[in-house]
A and B are shown apart, each in its own frame.
Chain A
Amino acid sequence: MTDAVRDRAGSPLGGPVAERLPPRLLCWFAFAVFAVLCLALRGDEKWLVGYPRGWEIPLIDWLEAAMDWFTAHFKPVFRFISDVLEWPMKGLLGVLHWLPWPATIGIVAVVAYAAKGWRLAGFCTAALLYMVIVGYWEESMSTLALVGMSVPLSLLIGMTLGLLGFQSRWARRVIEPMLDVMQTVPTFAYLVPILILFGIGPVVGMVASAIYASPPVVRNVMLGLGRVPDNVIESGQMSGCNGFQLLFLVRIPAATHTIMIGVNQTIMAALSMVIIAAIIGGFADIGWEVLSTMRKAQTGQSLLAGLVIVLLAMMMDRISRGFAERTGEIHLARTGHVLNRHPYLSAMVAATGIGIVLAAVFPAFERYPEAWVYYPAEDLNEAVGWFTRNFFETTDAIKTYTLYFFMLPMKAGLERIARPTSWGFEFKEAADAIYYWALAIGVGGLVALFANWRGVVTYGLLAVLFFYGASGTPWPVFIAAVTLIAFQVGGWKVALFAFLGMAFILTTGAWSRAMLSFYLTATSVIVCFVVGGSIGVWAAQNDRVSAIVRPINDTLQTMPLFVFLIPVIMVFLVGDFSALLAIIMYSIVPAIRYTEHGLRHVDPVAVEAARMMGCTERQVLWRVKLPLAIPEIMLGLNQVVMFALAMLVIAALVGTKGLGQWVYDALTNARFGQGVIAGGSMALIAMIADRIIQAWASQKKRDLGLAA
Chain B
Amino acid sequence: MTETSERDVKLTCRHVWKVYGPQADGFFTDRDGDVPDPRGLVDRVRESGHIGAACDVSFDVHVGEIFIIMGLSGSGKSTIVRCLSRLVEPTAGEVILDGEDLLRVGKDQLIDIRRHKMGMVFQNFGLLPHLSVLENVAFPLQVQGVDKPTRVARAMEMIELVGLGGRETSYPRQLSGGQQQRVGIARSLAVEPGLWFLDEPFSALDPLIRRQMQDEFMRLQQLLHKTIVFITHDFLEALRLADRIAIMKDGRIVQIGTPAEVVMQPADDYVEEFTQDVPRVKVITAGDIMRPAGNGLDASAAVPAGATLERLMPRFGDGLGAVAVTNDSGTVVGEVTPQAVLAALASEHDEGSAP
Q: Which residues of A contact B (CB under 8 A)?
A: 229, 231-232, 234-242, 245, 249-250, 253-254, 256, 327-328, 330, 332-333
Contact = CB atoms under 8 A, between A and B. Distances in A.
Interface stretch (B137-145, B243-251, B334-342, B343-351): B137-145
B124 interface: yes
Interface string B135-154: 00001101110000000000
A238 B144 contact: no
Tell me the interface secondary structure of chain A in the complex: helix
B72 interface: no
B235 interface: no
A253 B136 CA distance: 13
A235 B143 contact: no
B130 interface: yes
A240 B130 contact: no
Contacts of B58: none
A232 B129 contact: yes
Interface residues of B, number: 38
A327 B171 CA distance: 12
Given A238-B118, A238-B120, A240-B111, A232 B126 contact: yes
Can you list the 5 inter-chain pairs with the closest CB atoms, starting with the nearest?
A: A240-B115, A235-B126, A231-B126, A239-B140, A253-B130
Nearest to B184: A235
B139 A239 contact: yes
A242 B119 contact: no
A238 B119 contact: yes
B115 A236 contact: no
| Residue from A231, A238, A254 having most chain B Cβ neighbours under 10 A | A238
A249 to B, nearest CB: 7
A650 B329 CA distance: 91
Interface in B140-180: 140, 142-144, 169-171, 173-174
A237 B130 contact: no
B85 interface: yes
Given A231-B122, A240-B114, 6 more contacts: A232-B126, A232-B128, A238-B85, A240-B140, A249-B139, A249-B142
B127 A232 contact: yes
B122 A241 contact: no
Contacts of A231: 122-126
A328 B130 contact: yes
Given A232-B127, A232-B129, A235-B120, A240 B112 contact: yes
Nearest to A329: B171
B187 interface: yes
Contacts of B144: 240
B111 A242 contact: yes
Contacts, number: 79
A609 B139 CA distance: 50
Interface of B: 82, 85, 87, 108, 111-112, 114-116, 118-120, 122-132, 139-140, 142-144, 169-171, 173-174, 184, 187-188, 191, 197
A191 B109 CA distance: 52
A699 to B, nearest CB: 28
Given A239-B187, A240-B115, A254 B120 contact: no
B143 A241 contact: yes
Contacts of A235: 120, 122, 126-128, 184, 187
A239 B124 contact: no
B145 to A, nearest CB: 10
A327 B174 CA distance: 14
B125 A328 contact: no
Contact of B130 (A242, A245, A254): A254
Contacts of A234: 82, 87, 120, 122, 126
A238 B87 contact: yes
B243 to A, nearest CB: 23
A231 B81 CA distance: 13
A652 to B, nearest CB: 46
B143 A240 contact: yes
Contacts of B128: 232, 235-236, 250, 253-254
Nearest to B173: A328
A249 B112 CA distance: 18
Contacts of A333: 132, 169
A237 B129 CA distance: 16
Contacts of A253: 128, 130-131
B351 to A, nearest CB: 42
A245 to B, nearest CB: 5
A332 B111 contact: no
Nearest to A236: B128
Nearest to B122: A231
Contacts of A238: 85, 87, 114, 118-120, 140, 188, 197
Contacts of B87: 234, 237-238
26 contacts: A229-B126, A231-B122, A232-B126, A232-B127, A234-B82, A234-B120, A235-B120, A237-B87, A237-B114, A238-B118, A238-B119, A238-B120, A238-B140, A240-B144, A241-B111, A241-B143, A242-B111, A242-B143, A250-B128, A256-B130, A328-B130, A328-B171, A330-B169, A330-B170, A333-B132, A333-B169
Contacts of A237: 87, 114
Nearest to B135: A333
Contacts of B187: 235, 239
B77 to A, nearest CB: 15
Given A234-B87, A238-B119, A245-B143, A332 B169 contact: yes
Nearest to A330: B171
B190 to A, nearest CB: 9
A242 B85 CA distance: 15
A330 B139 CA distance: 18
Contacts of A245: 143
A326 to B, nearest CB: 12
Contacts of A232: 126-129
| Residue from A234, A242, A250, A330 having most chain B Cβ neighbours under 10 A | A234
A258 to B, nearest CB: 12
A547 to B, nearest CB: 28
A232 B130 CA distance: 11
A256 B130 CA distance: 9
B113 to A, nearest CB: 8
A328 B143 contact: no
Contacts of A240: 111-112, 114-116, 140, 143-144, 191
| Residue from A241, A327, A333 having most chain B Cβ neighbours under 10 A | A241
A231 B188 CA distance: 13
A241 B115 CA distance: 8
A170 B204 CA distance: 38
